[in-house]
Structure 1
Amino acid sequence: MIGLEYICKLFDKKYIVLAEELGVSKQAIYNWINKKKAIGKKHLPILSEMFGELPEEFFQKELTELDKLEIQKIKFANEASMYGDTFNEQYTDYEIDIIKLTNEIREVIDKKFDDEAMISHQTPYEVLEATKSVQALYEKLTKIIKHGGIDTNIIDNVMEGMINYQLGKSNSRYEFINEITKLVEQEQTKQT
């Protein structure tokens, strides 16, 4: 979706009203949204000001999910400044972090697929199964957290113990983490 279209929807701005405020025809707005014509350079600073000092580049480009969240963040920050409330800005940062995490998960799974595909003695089915195993780990963690019943600090400590094993660290200030590290080491030894 092109920026101007998304911004108008987000700010609940009707195209006819926007056209009147800019002194252009409604058809010009439709041409901009449908990418038949570029937004005139004289209109970009006016649009930016009209929509709370949004950066001009957002109006003509195809927006990514991160772009949309950045626009929301600016809108919320402008609204929050009237009330002195920073919750909306923090929430938008949280949403941006979730999208980044989702992208990182995809990258890990894609890398696992690519790495497995490089091993010449594996069939395509075996490559797919190896990749699914990584996906299954994320799904299991999601189920554990979603179901509840296990304090997230315990989950964090278990993962910390596994990371300590990877890094060769065996000395944590928490005995539980040290025990997890030892258990991972024992199981890894059995696997090799």
Structure 2
Amino acid sequence: MIGLEYILSLYNMQHIELAVKLGIKKQNINLWIKRKQSIPKKYLPVLSELFGVEEDYFTKELTEVERLEIQKEKLKQDLTPVIQKQDQQFILGDVNDIVEVPIYDKEEMNKIERTIEKAKLVARFKQAIEIDDELPNLDTFKLVIELLEKSQHEIIFHKTIEALAHYLEVLPDWVSTGPEQDEFENELFEVLDDNNF
């Protein structure tokens, strides 16, 4: 489904209604959605302003994360939430860093933010597992899933994952949860070093 079609359905807007807002014929909207014509560039800023969505979303197939981002923007328009505070959260990606994450006064906004983060994690996990059809470490992925299912709330599991992230330089050294974590990591690193890892 092309982005424009998804956005119109999300906003419960008929093709004729959008056509009137843009000052064009309804058939143009139909042609855009069926991809028989491209959306002219002059209408993209107008659509972006109208729906509060990035211009490139209108012309492409949307990922799950992009659909959720559009839902979030619609919720912002509908609820006009207020940011109550900012929480610090570590993000992984091109630049591993701590960022400020807004906490809203409307639980619907906080819930969609969590849903977006989960969808991003699922997409990254799927991408990681699909890197190679003959993945030699498939057993590692199986173990990770098993541990997540059975032990994700165990403190030792969290500490071990954080320690491994430091050891493998996924987390920078300056990201730490305190002296207790540092002590645990030092002991774990000794065991790894003793076993030539």
Scaled by the length of structure 2, what TM-score is found? Answer: 0.64
- What is the total number of aligned residue pairs between the two structures? 167
Alignment map for 1:1-192 (pairs within 5 Å):
1-51=1-51, 53-81=52-80, 84=82, 85-110=105-130, 113=132, 127-128=134-135, 130-145=136-151, 151-163=153-165, 173-174=179-180, 177=184, 181=188, 184-185=191-192, 189=195
SS state of the match for residue 35, structure 1? Answer: coil
Whose radius of gyration is greater, 1 or 2?
Answer: 1
Contact kept in structure 2, 1:39 and 1:60, CA below 8 Å = yes
Paired amino acid for 1:7:
I
Structure 2, unmatched stretches of 5+, are 83-104
Structure having the higher helix fraction is 1
1:60 and 1:161, CA in 2 relative to 1: closer, same or farther beyond 3 A?
closer
Moved over 4 A (4+): 161-167
Q: RMSD over aligned Cα, in angstroms?
A: 3.5
Deviation readout 1:27-71 (Å, 9 max, x if unpaired): 2211010111122344334323332x3233322223233322222
Structure having the higher strand fraction is 2
CA distance in 2, matches of 1:139, 1:105: 11
1:185 and 1:70, CA in 2 relative to 1: closer, same or farther beyond 3 A?
same
CA distance in 1, matches of 2:146, 2:161: 13
SS state of the match for residue 61, structure 2? Answer: coil
For residue 136 of structure 1, report the CA deviation from its aligned partner: 0.4
Structure 1, unmatched stretches of 5+, are 115-126
Paired amino acid for 1:105:
F
Deviation readout 1:128-186 (Å, 9 max, x if unpaired): 5x3320220222123115xxxx744332123345456667x9xx833883696179539
Scaled by the length of structure 1, what TM-score is found? Answer: 0.65
Identity of aligned residues (%): 32
Paired amino acid for 1:78:
Q
